[in-house]
Amino acid sequence: MTSSRQTEAVHHLAERLVAKSPAMVPVVEAIENTAGNDAPVLLEGEQGVGKEFVARLIHLSSYRGDQAFETLLPPALPAALAAEELFGVQARKLQQASGGTLLLKEVWRFPTAVQRHLADALAWDTTGDQTPIAVHDVWLMMSSRVALEDATREGLLAPPLANWPRATWQNVQRITLPPLRRRPADIPLLVDLFNEEHAQEMEHDPLVFPPQVIDRFTGYTWPGNVSELKSVIYRLHTTLRARHVEESHLTGLVPQVEDELPLSRFGLEDLVRAKLRTFLSRIKGYHVEDLHAQVISQVERPLVELVLEQTKGNQLQAAKVLGINRNTLRKKIRNLGIRMPR
């Protein structure tokens, strides 16, 4: 039975769910459908899109909404302790979430031992076996900024989860949250929401955002998504004395569209790490030398080739993109054996 306190909490979060853009329609439908059952939930989407917010809203909208909502982030615990926290004799996290919901954040980053137990727990609904999740009556939710198919293909997901049977995958309720750049219609509404929230928190009047500033916001790709937008609004509240926001106030906060291209958005470091981990696990017993130079060469060659391709062989322009001088670029082209694009 839903308590008045739970109803109030659901109403508060639902008011903060901005979903005017068409890209959010399936998300809203999924939230409504998911809250009615106990099948495991997987929330996918880039960093900062609001996966934990949606998880909390689903939890509060369910019959478990007046029970605990616990989260666990893998880097916060050593591998052995993470396994003990979830599935050991004490199972502290499961006990804390008993009757409620446990959200495992960035599930692909959990240690292999934890992923193995998690795979068993997810198989419970299809096999009927008793597992720690079932014993403690916990609704399991997971989040990931990497699509799990991609994580499996790139070796980011350990075999216990990567080898889930198809039936288990189908049993997991998957919700994909779109990045903010695909939700331009929601940006002005989110600005209003965060503006009012920060004004109330700081006990002063809301800021005034003229149309040209809103246009600047909607034209930016927001690599940090909703979290980045909220942070920008907060920074403006804490730094501006006047209530009227000018475009000049956005310097250093919101880059011009033509100047903004964050490499971090593409998760390159995670992919390189996964490839290297697989390689290193296979070279035990083999003699390897000059590994650093080999790795740098394999990263550098396609980078230089693609930049030259993009600039149609213009070495001066390519050197500018790469942040090196033209003579250095010529040397790299020669040493790496790169053929110039025709």
Q: Which CATH code, of 3.40.50.2020, 3.40.50.1980, 3.40.50.300, 3.90.220.20, is assigned to 4-178?
A: 3.40.50.300
- Are 191 and 233 in contact by the 8 Å Cβ rule? The answer is yes
Q: What topology is assigned to 289-342 in CATH?
A: Arc Repressor Mutant, subunit A (1.10.10)
The model's pTM: 0.68
143 three-state secondary structure: strand
Per domain, the residue ranges of the chain are: 4-178, 181-259, 289-342
Give the C-alpha distances (Å, rounded to integers) separating 45 from 135, 150, 155, 192, 217.
30, 12, 19, 23, 21
Query: CA torsion sign, 290 to 291 to 297 to 300?
Result: negative
Six-digit token pair at 103? 């959200």
Q: 181-259 maps to which CATH number?
A: 1.10.8.60
In a structure prediction context, what are the per-residue pLDDT tens digits for the chain, which is 342 residues long? 455 666 665 556 677 899 899 999 999 999 888 877 788 899 999 889 999 999 999 999 888 988 999 998 876 667 777 777 777 766 778 888 889 998 988 888 777 777 777 777 666 444 444 455 555 688 889 898 887 777 776 666 766 666 655 545 567 788 999 999 999 999 999 999 999 999 999 999 999 999 999 999 998 888 889 999 999 999 999 999 888 999 999 988 887 654 445 555 555 666 676 667 766 766 665 666 667 777 777 788 888 888 888 888 888 888 888 888 888 888 888 877 787 766
